Amino acid sequence: MPKLTRLMAVAMLFLLQACASVLSEAEQRQVAGKTYVITGASSGIGRGTALRLAALHANVVLAARRTDLLREVAEQAQAAGGTAMVATVDVANPADMQRLAETAATRFGRIDVWINNAGVGAIGNFEAIPIADHARVVDVNLKGVIYGSHAALRQFKLQGSGTLINIGSVESVVPQAYHASYSATKAAVLALGRALNEELRLAGAKTITVSTVMPFATDTPFFEHAANYSGGTPRMPAMDDPAEAVDAIVYASLYPREEVPVGWKGHGAMVGHWLAPDITESVSANVAHKYQFDTAPPAPPTSGSLHAPQPNGRGVDGGVRERMERENAAAKKGK
């Protein structure tokens, strides 16, 4: 009976989220005028979220390393109807994150929602990836979220309310072979959110919430920016459009829940892991091996944008699905 009850609850949450992509006029008015801090706002999900919120007339504080690209996003946000502020930060630097909170609160008077979105990855056999790259993944994906959460929660307690959204991943629950340090950090982000929610409950802080949004594999420049020591081009099957994650984040900012899997594939992976964790992890690993090692065209090793920002990968969509279609067609033609 407990399993059946939980399955029914998961199904209900899925149905609720399936309706969450379209905001009512009243919900759109709730976004207007609010201040959102978004790390990793120069591309991918962060950029898409910033532009969606700007179109709803929010104030967006755009934080990332690529200042020129942030200015481009800010111009688009202003044109869409929002108010934008650019902040050049490295989320792995705690001083940068504290300064981000202070400047955002000074500019707009308060911070309503803080979104820890910046993330990096390293693809390949665990021991083939240099230890410096593993360390940088931890610095950005875990320490960066800790630093951002620390600054945000202190500001929320000063002003009496606020919503913290940390971007985890389906890999927070279903670890992925060849993404070892990335999966480890995303699992830690989920644990961080759970611990913080308990602390807030014990403190009676009912107007401060922490939500962990967990996208499925999403077609963004993340894969172009990732370190890659697999010997093949970064590949992943059945990728989601970035709009699915953007919708979930915007909705979570209005109706925060402790954990938010994104889309039917995200929900399916979570339920599958809950029912049969070993089988789910094995299937996931087998699929990753097939796509990353058995079918990927050759690619040279790279640390990607882990240690220094790169000019490439500037949009919301990463073009991975289109590239994989071309690669598959070429492989089929060559047989």
Q: Which amino acid is at 169?
A: S
Non-local (6+) Cβ contacts of 273 within 8 A are 173, 174, 280, 281
Q: Give the catalytic positions in this structure.
A: 182
How do beta strands 122-123 and 59-64 pair?
Answer: unpaired
Distance CA 259, CA 64 (A): 25
- DSSP 8-state symbol, 213: E
- DSSP 8-state symbol, 139: I
Instruction: Say if residues 114 and 162 touch (Cβ distance below 8 Å).
Output: yes
Phi, psi of 212 (to 5 degrees): -105, 110
Q: Is 8 exposed, middle or buried (0-12, 13-18, 19+ CB in 10 A)?
A: exposed
Distance CA 251, CA 230 (A): 36
Q: How far is CA 118 from CA 90, 162, 174, 283, 285, in A?
A: 9, 20, 20, 28, 25
